Structure 1
Amino acid sequence: MMKFKLLLVSMLLVFVSSCKQSTTTNNEVKTEQKTDANGFAYETVANDPTGLRLYTLKNGLKVYLSKNTDEPKIQTYIAVRAGSNYDPKESTGLAHYLEHMVFKGTHKIGTLDWEKEKEYLKKISDLYEQHRTEEDLEKKKAIYKEIDKVSLEASNFSIANEYDKMTSSLGATGTNAHTWFEETVYKNKIPANELDKWLSLESERFSTLVLRLFHTELEAVFEEFNRGQDNDFRKRYAAMLEGLFPKHPYGQQKTIGTAEHLKNPSLVDINNYFDKYYVPNNMAVVLVGDLDFDATIKKVNDNFGKFEKKELTHPVLPKEDAITQPVINEVFGPTSESVSIAYRSKGVNSEEEKLVTLCDMIMANGNAGLLDLNLNQKQVVQRAGCSPTFLNDYGYHNFTGNPKSGQTLEEVKDLLLEQIEKLKKGEFDEWMIEAVVNDLKLSQTRQYENNTALASAYYNAFIHHEKWENKVKFLNDLKKVTKKELVDFANKFYQNNYVVTYKRKGEDKNIVKVENPGITPVNLNRGKSSEFIQAFNKVESATLEPKFIDYKTAIKETKTANDINVSFITNQKNDLFDLNIIFDMGGDHNKKLSLAAGYLEYIGTDKYSAEEIKKEFYKLGINYYVSAQNDKTYVGLRGLKENLSKGLELLEHLWDNAKADPEAYAKYVEKIYKGRQDGKTQKGNILWGGLMNYGKYGENSRLRDIMQIDELKAINPEELVNIVKDMKNYKQRIFYYGKDVDAAVSALNTHHKLYGELKDYPEKKVYKETETGGNVFFTNYDMVQSELLFLAKGAPFDPKNLAASTLFNTYFGSGLSSIVFQEIRESKSLAYSAFASYSNASKKDDSNYVMAYVGTQANKLSQAVDAMMDLMNNMPEAEKQFNAAKEATLKKIAAQRITKSSIFWSYERLKNLGIDNDNREEMYNTIKNMTITDLKSFFDKNVKGESYNVMVIGNKKDLDVKSLQKLGKITELDVDKLFNYVDKKEVKQ
């Protein structure tokens, strides 16, 4: 919940968007002032395909509205121009912590008796001021104990998670927030019929700040701080910023704050920050979705128009001196090595934003950029890339690289710099600028079919003071840049003015150990409610009826001349297409199939080199892929419909005429080897990959059933090429999403040539799930937190369980108002992240699983284990919370619309489960009639008393072994055992 951003690639807003097609024939882009039926003035931009109406209320609040009726939902954002840049120097982390507290309610939300509660909260605030200034450590601890005592007393009058309960009751999804340098943004996606209630809730939420349940939430922030210490990417990123910005808060104030400041918070400072920056003339409401413009702005004004405008100035931040020579930084940690090279630029709304954007796409666009072709395609490094970020005061262009086996970070750095020199010398094709602009249009067309992406673009424009007119014409402006202008700019911009940051493997000596303060669990008052929520729940919204799909009529069928079945759905929105040739066989049928599919990326044909193939596809605005999964293989093509036939012809040429390249294969094997070595340094991969698979399958898992490096080296690459070519001879089917299916079938008839009767698939290897229970599988890893995953094999998949398990997950294990989250985090402050779920199988022959997760400080491990196990065996029965979870689940189903290509892919998933209809209708009707007794019966039968395998990753020297021994026999597994990596020798080319 409420994660602060660590990296945000600047969002480019498009001239071409799929959401709405402009009917204006005039290409002029200019802002127009208009007035709606209610007399509200707004701005609109001619030829803006997103259809934005930008209102400014009398109190200065900006309101961004855009309509899209694909689904009866509205993506909402409430954005504040206030982030960690404006934290007081003695209170870093304040803006982020405030973000957490805005979820705690007001003097109306979350309180049983405000007059009594506020007396305790005032006392707590005073105690924190004493705690902050006290230098004697023993006296400081005594004050904290008093804070803990008074906080427990205050919790008698508070109700945890009332805000979350109300958003959940609306059927909202994605309830969250984030803080970054210049922004704090609050998020919900709501059913369209709940707009009135959402507005009343949010206007109350932002009217008053109440710092209740403060010290337990502070512990949750400490857990978030620890997660950051365990993230080497974040460490490299922070070091990069420190080098780029030695004066500015971008580099000098981390959003999470320092440990010392988190230990000594000031509630007075937090209130002052809220009063200063959370004012309407510093905020925006963004709504994108199924709405009526005139009615919506009136409702927004009725709720937010009453907020008072205040005089506001943001602090003047330091200006940076020019970087005149390379700045070198190093960070250390257990993950694989990497290097970044970053150049500081001017910020948003500058000409440099346009030029750096173009340079970035020339360097790396995933297909035909200099890094793509010269480093990634030729496998000169393990991987390389770049991305720009633009903020209000400055920006930066960051290049990153990972070394291949035996390569130093310094060598990777030099290779990155060599490619930048090629840009400066103009060593790229003349057509590239036009191609990358078209590529940006293409990707943005896809992106803005999504209301969330479009709403994100609007709030970014607000935060960065961007005129929407400029964003609409942004890509047209890029088209005007000539190659000479770009090369001239590159020679001025990319000099010895960069910051290089080496992320090396090794011990991080800057880790901060945080003491467990011994918090007394606060009262949740789960069965009680404030007067506000009682009145809120009585308000009835217009009914939103669910809509279900008849897949057999929604998915049309035709055939090719070769009698291959083509399923298709017409794209009603734009001229993009997606073509998939599907083989119902994968790595389980032939272990070498995924190897062959990956190898195809690095070889060419008798006509084109591998690099030339990439360029030809890029010219067409077409992407292709070959992907082999466990039991499916996809050969795909997507892009501009007008170039479908040419793209398919090129793909079929590659498919039929691929030529083995022994040198490329040797590098490919080396890349696989290094990928394995890098993968086993990633704690997420160890827990959710290695340990989880071991917990499910033991030693006979798909993950461990791999070819060793010596076996890979012994393969003749010609064999892999033949495997790819031979795929055409197997049974297959096709899915097409786009316009003009006849043209697509005609292209298939012309280019997708098949000969003779198609072969049946080879026999599939089955990996058998083991029984769980009595085992603790532990892997040692240098980290601050410990993470635990509880896994119990349940009953075989049964469609009748889908309704109950969905409701159970909402009520018990997932979401901010769930039982697990409230107990583990809100009451006991034992973790930043904790959840539990009844996980249904994805295949009808597989088993369901009961899962639970908690990530916590090592010194809280015993408490966290006891708390989680108690919940997994004793589900609290809270009638009000159950009814809220039930209502939320029903509303989410009612607002859900399966559209476009998702219709086909959702049907594919259902067929894997042996279901051939839209089962949501049955689930909806079942949930409607369920009671808390029914849910308790489901829990008793499927969750309570289950026997778990427990997977643990953490630092062995900090591990509380006794707490784990209560769970079963402890077996320590190293990563090579988990992944079955036998050959540890360097692979030499």
Structure 2
Amino acid sequence: MKQIKTLLGSLLVTSLLFVSCDQSKEMHDDSTEIVTKSEKDSVGYTYEYVTNDPTGLRLYTLDNGLKVYLSKNTDEPKIQTYIAVRAGSTYDPKETTGLAHYLEHMLFKGTHELGTLNWETESSYLHQISDLYEAHKIAINPEEKLAIYRKIDSVSLIASNYCVANEYDKITQSMGATGTNAHTSVEETVYKNKIPSNELNKWLALESDRFGELVLRLFHTELEAVFEEFNRSQDNDYFKMYHATMSSLFPTHPYGTQTTIGTAEHLKNPSMVAIHNYFDKYYVPNNMALVLVGDIDYDKTIKAVDDTFGKLKRKEVTHPTLPKEAPITSPVIKEVYGPTAENVTIAFRSPGVGTDGEKYLMLCDMIMANGNAGLIDLNLNQKQVVQRASCYPNFMNDYGYHQFNGTPRANQTLEEVKDLLLEQIDKLKKGEFEDWMIDAVVNDLKLNQTRQYENSTALASAYYDAFIHHQNWEDRVKLLDDLKNINKEDLIAFANDFYKENYVVIYKHQGEDENIVKVQNPKITQVNLNRDKQSEYFTKFIEMETAPLEPQYVDFDKAIQKISLANGVEVSYIENELNDLFQLYILFDMGSDNNKDLSTALNYLEYVGTAKYSPEELKKEFYKLGVNYYVGVDNDQTYVALRGLKENLPKGLSLLEELWDNAVANQETYNKYVDQIAKGRQDNISEKSFILWNGLMNYGKYGEDSSLRNIYTVSQLKEKDPKDLVDLIKGLKNYKQRIFYYGKDIDAAIANLNDQHKLKGALKQYPKANVYQEDETGGNVYFVDYDMVQTEMLFLAKSAPFDPKNMAASTLFNSYFGSGLSSIVFQEIRESKALAYSAFASYSNASEKDKSNYVYAYIGTQANKMPQAVDAMIYLMKNMPDAEQQFNAAKDAALKKIAAQRITKTSIFWRYETQKKKGIDYDNREEIYNTIKNMTLEDLHTFFDENIKNEDYNVMVIGNKNEVDMEALKQLGNVKELDVDYLFNYEKPKGLRNSDL
């Protein structure tokens, strides 16, 4: 299913009750008028609201112009917060691209009170650094520039004596916040936290101070982090394709002429003055929105917001007038090169947000591809004409675009895929889609919005998206009803007017990218973190009291009800109290470790029909109902599942059972399916993240004998009879099974299952599972050569067998040491030494009681920084620094996260399933909470000494062999270069190439 964000921006659910396709006209006729009204709350603030808005939005505007979006969601005692600024890379000055993004990074550095030990002294050094950067920017002679940079480095070291790194992150951590981050895009910069609801007043005080002023401390080390992010973008073929698409669609508008990350030349010559000017211009309340969705009291919340953010001063804001694009009159073609799989993009420039064109394109997009019954879904993906294809729209303030993507099958050219995509567009223009599709598409969009907006984060995202795009919420609420009013004839007319020879084509080839920019390591002097100190602001803030939030634990026996079908199969169920959607899982406690044919068979089901329905007809029938079926195979579990509209459960289950019982094998579709598997494997091993986190990590744990490598070769798959696979699918019903149902009206669901899920006789026991032994770690370096700018490393050590008693200590260790912006690892490697953009470490508890825990650490860095980064990480993994205050903050964070956590809905069942695998049949978070509550830094040191300090690591490395210091790798162990096909056992073993280094 396509992500709703890409389909509709962030549309609102217009109703929580949905009907099937044949009833949708009646629903539309009975729809209630939607209008915007104003009202005063009990404390005298005026807010706008939209009638019949199921999200209950209250939209306030403070006297200083700040927009405040408030909505209540009491699923958990948390609040999703966003602070959105209408300021993105589109507004970067041409001579300082990347400025908006770099400013986003600097907003985490504190204020003249937060993060400083002596502001008067520190500020004088920051002024010096700013002046030096201005001199550095205008200097032409390389030696002069280098000399100035060395001065910047030396003054920055002195300045660091008067600051405390990461105090903002330490404060948010101490509040129990999660998801602390930010992002910058073409028209927005958005700052994020999810906080416990009892911490709201403290959070408002902190954030109103942060957005009241800008302090550019620790500037040059953070700049190195941005350079690392720049390098990551160069290693990302998707980013390169995106930029090629945007520059082709928008050759004069900043959408296409500027990238969010900026150019290397501009990053090398930053201006602190320009960043301050940008902040002063755009970071003003009348250009910002505050979004709070969660467990709030409307009246108390708006009063607290006004008391804090209301103090920010309003300024007049003028966004630049941006150029208009000339029409595209003939196809524009560009080529991009990189190591990942070949693919093609076709994009049509469109009108922007809020236009009629946006509405028509939403429908066109879903009729083309909705993940089930679109023209691309049925004619290309279902028939396996291409490896995969899809499309999505994106709408911005000035323009948008409709993008089509296709990946070729083996021996298929990119031009052939392009032509196939254009053929599907021609079918849309000719009206070659069924009359019921528009109604079905709108109902599908409503259904997916319901799923998405069950959580506060998704709804909050919709609110800030509306703000960034200057949209009235009423228009969002009415949008799906507006789509319903578009008829087929008008849609065809729009398609014929819109889709012409006015597109761009981006061919992504596999090959060396000659446009890669080499960035030199400036050899920054390690700055002081002063983690044992704190600002006066921090001291006072931590002492602020909040009403305690008591944790709540789940009684699985009460929360999960059980009943049996007439045939004796156990059904676990939880009632859906929110809406009329259901989920139904038929579970088998065996997986690919029991029978490695299961994965091949179950995934083949996608391309199988019956005597009654072709595969394409089945997809259409499910889509009409607003019901999806899906299957999954893990190492130890298999499921066949349905989800969708509760009222259509009977028809959906009937269709599923029809397919399950009467599937018909087809040799031609199976041959294509095997070819698709073969091509998919080669595409997989062109992705560096897949190689590192799947192949190398698995090899580091198991070596040659693992479930990942225990697969059929392509030649073996070709020899299989597809009828045997279909018989395996049918025979799955004969095995032991259980069912999980989430929805309303359990009695009706049971009746439907009794009526339609027919089983024959006694159920069979599961085949014995293969058991794979975990290797001992230490002394090995596994290297894969890959064309990339950065080098990525993973240190992995096998630790003790799983023990529930270690869960509390590992939780606290990860919070203090390894994960998050305020962790020891992040501070040392990125903040202090500027050696990596991303660095973290973790003690990972096993998912099963019989398996081992693991210690792992990750670094993503420039190849020329790798030896230094490795030394820094190894030292930390052997010597955990003591920071009492940071420990206390991490401890508070761990406790508050547990206190604010609520396990609800389907998560109750899946948490219970996870716990059972660990040999725990109850919610043990109470034990974890009480243990952490009593832990000291000495206790954490004991855990570190016993479980981490003396571990021996396998080191997994992916990087460019011509750039990586192989001699440095040799110091870590026996270097073995692995062929990626061998790593995954995709072809006949080619063996290890022991480096002669």
| TM-score, length basis structure 2 | 0.97
Letter in 1 for 2:477: V
Q: Which residue of 2 aligns with 1:783?
A: 788
Q: Is the 8 A contact 1:18 1:446 kept in 2?
A: no
Q: Which residue of 2 aligns with 1:300?
A: 305
Q: Is the 8 A contact 2:6 2:392 kept in 1?
A: no
Secondary structure of the corresponding residue to residue 767 of structure 1: coil
* 1:23-172 paired onto structure 2 within 5 Å: 27-172=32-177
Q: Is the 8 A contact 1:18 1:448 kept in 2?
A: no
Q: Which residue of 2 aligns with 1:667?
A: 672
1:954 maps to 2:921: no
1:753 maps to 2:758: yes
1:740 maps to 2:745: yes
Letter in 2 for 1:418: E
1:250 maps to 2:248: no
Q: Following the alignment from structure 1 to structure 2, what is the Cα–Cα distance between the partners of residues 246 and 811? A: 47
* 1:58-457 paired onto structure 2 within 5 Å: 58-457=63-462
Q: Following the alignment from structure 2 to structure 1, what is the Cα–Cα distance between the partners of residues 471 and 731? A: 53
- Which of these residues, 508, 525, 545, is aligned with residue 503 of structure 1? 508
Q: Following the alignment from structure 1 to structure 2, what is the Cα–Cα distance between the partners of residues 501 and 30? A: 43
Following TM superposition, by how much is the alpha carbon of 1:18 offset from its aligned partner in structure 2, in angstroms?
4.9
Of 386-395 and 621-630, more deviation after overlay is shown by 621-630
Q: Is the 8 A contact 1:19 1:449 kept in 2?
A: no
Q: Following the alignment from structure 2 to structure 1, what is the Cα–Cα distance between the partners of residues 979 and 97? A: 39
Q: Following the alignment from structure 1 to structure 2, what is the Cα–Cα distance between the partners of residues 796 and 11? A: 46
* 1:886-905 paired onto structure 2 within 5 Å: 886-905=891-910
- Which of these residues, 496, 499, 519, is aligned with residue 494 of structure 1? 499
* 1:13-24 paired onto structure 2 within 5 Å: 13-16=11-14, 18=16
Letter in 1 for 2:521: N
Secondary structure of the corresponding residue to residue 384 of structure 2: coil
1:799 maps to 2:804: yes
Give the superposed CA RMSD.
1.4
Q: Is the 8 A contact 2:629 2:643 kept in 1?
A: yes
Following TM superposition, by how much is the alpha carbon of 1:15 offset from its aligned partner in structure 2, in angstroms?
3.6
Q: Following the alignment from structure 1 to structure 2, what is the Cα–Cα distance between the partners of residues 771 and 19? A: 55
- Which of these residues, 718, 722, 727, is aligned with residue 723 of structure 2? 718
Secondary structure of the corresponding residue to residue 932 of structure 2: helix
Secondary structure of the corresponding residue to residue 94 of structure 2: coil
Letter in 1 for 2:673: Y
1:567-615, Cα deviation, whole Å (9 max, x unpaired):
0000000000000000001111001011000101001000000000000
Secondary structure of the corresponding residue to residue 157 of structure 1: coil
Q: Following the alignment from structure 2 to structure 1, what is the Cα–Cα distance between the partners of residues 985 and 830? A: 36
Q: Which residue of 2 aligns with 1:604?
A: 609
Letter in 1 for 2:57: L
1:914 maps to 2:919: yes
Q: Following the alignment from structure 2 to structure 1, what is the Cα–Cα distance between the partners of residues 421 and 578? A: 40
1:395-424, Cα deviation, whole Å (9 max, x unpaired):
000000000011000000000000000000
Q: Following the alignment from structure 1 to structure 2, what is the Cα–Cα distance between the partners of residues 701 and 979? A: 10
Following TM superposition, by how much is the alpha carbon of 1:383 offset from its aligned partner in structure 2, in angstroms?
0.2
1:884 maps to 2:882: no
Following TM superposition, by how much is the alpha carbon of 1:962 offset from its aligned partner in structure 2, in angstroms?
2.2
Following TM superposition, by how much is the alpha carbon of 1:16 offset from its aligned partner in structure 2, in angstroms?
3.1
Following TM superposition, by how much is the alpha carbon of 1:705 offset from its aligned partner in structure 2, in angstroms?
1.1
Letter in 2 for 1:248: H
Q: Which residue of 1 aligns with 2:656?
A: 651
Letter in 1 for 2:351: K
1:887-915, Cα deviation, whole Å (9 max, x unpaired):
00000000000001110000000001000
1:633 maps to 2:653: no
Q: Relative to 1, partners in 2 of residues 1:18 and 1:27: Cα closer, same or farther, differing over 3 Å?
A: closer
Q: Which residue of 2 aligns with 1:859?
A: 864
Q: Which residue of 2 aligns with 1:11?
A: 9
Q: Following the alignment from structure 1 to structure 2, what is the Cα–Cα distance between the partners of residues 242 and 97? A: 22
Q: Following the alignment from structure 2 to structure 1, what is the Cα–Cα distance between the partners of residues 773 and 381? A: 37
Percent of paired sites with the same residue: 69
Q: Following the alignment from structure 1 to structure 2, what is the Cα–Cα distance between the partners of residues 238 and 589? A: 46
Q: Is the 8 A contact 2:97 2:263 kept in 1?
A: yes
Letter in 2 for 1:621: G
Q: Is the 8 A contact 1:697 1:770 kept in 2?
A: yes
Following TM superposition, by how much is the alpha carbon of 1:17 offset from its aligned partner in structure 2, in angstroms?
5.3
Q: Is the 8 A contact 1:19 1:49 kept in 2?
A: no
Q: Is the 8 A contact 1:18 1:445 kept in 2?
A: yes
- Which of these residues, 815, 837, 841, is aligned with residue 842 of structure 2? 837
Q: Is the 8 A contact 2:89 2:260 kept in 1?
A: yes
Secondary structure of the corresponding residue to residue 175 of structure 1: strand
Q: Relative to 1, partners in 2 of residues 1:609 and 1:8: Cα closer, same or farther, differing over 3 Å?
A: closer
1:465 maps to 2:470: yes
Letter in 2 for 1:230: D
Following TM superposition, by how much is the alpha carbon of 1:198 offset from its aligned partner in structure 2, in angstroms?
0.2
Q: Following the alignment from structure 1 to structure 2, what is the Cα–Cα distance between the partners of residues 916 and 83? A: 49
Letter in 2 for 1:812: F
Secondary structure of the corresponding residue to residue 473 of structure 1: helix
Following TM superposition, by how much is the alpha carbon of 1:704 offset from its aligned partner in structure 2, in angstroms?
1.2
Q: Following the alignment from structure 2 to structure 1, what is the Cα–Cα distance between the partners of residues 256 and 181? A: 26
Q: Following the alignment from structure 1 to structure 2, what is the Cα–Cα distance between the partners of residues 38 and 628? A: 55
Secondary structure of the corresponding residue to residue 956 of structure 1: coil
Letter in 1 for 2:496: N
Q: Relative to 1, partners in 2 of residues 1:438 and 1:8: Cα closer, same or farther, differing over 3 Å?
A: closer
Q: Is the 8 A contact 1:26 1:47 kept in 2?
A: no
Q: Following the alignment from structure 2 to structure 1, what is the Cα–Cα distance between the partners of residues 904 and 230? A: 40
Q: Following the alignment from structure 1 to structure 2, what is the Cα–Cα distance between the partners of residues 627 and 893? A: 30
Following TM superposition, by how much is the alpha carbon of 1:14 offset from its aligned partner in structure 2, in angstroms?
2.5
Letter in 1 for 2:185: W
Q: Following the alignment from structure 2 to structure 1, what is the Cα–Cα distance between the partners of residues 10 and 198? A: 31
Letter in 1 for 2:659: L
Q: Is the 8 A contact 1:19 1:573 kept in 2?
A: no
Aligned residues: 978
Of 702-711 and 936-945, more deviation after overlay is shown by 702-711
Q: Following the alignment from structure 2 to structure 1, what is the Cα–Cα distance between the partners of residues 849 and 16? A: 37
Secondary structure of the corresponding residue to residue 185 of structure 1: strand
1:463-499, Cα deviation, whole Å (9 max, x unpaired):
0000000000000000000000000000000000000
1:270-310, Cα deviation, whole Å (9 max, x unpaired):
00000000000000000000000011000000001111110
Q: Following the alignment from structure 2 to structure 1, what is the Cα–Cα distance between the partners of residues 413 and 989? A: 18
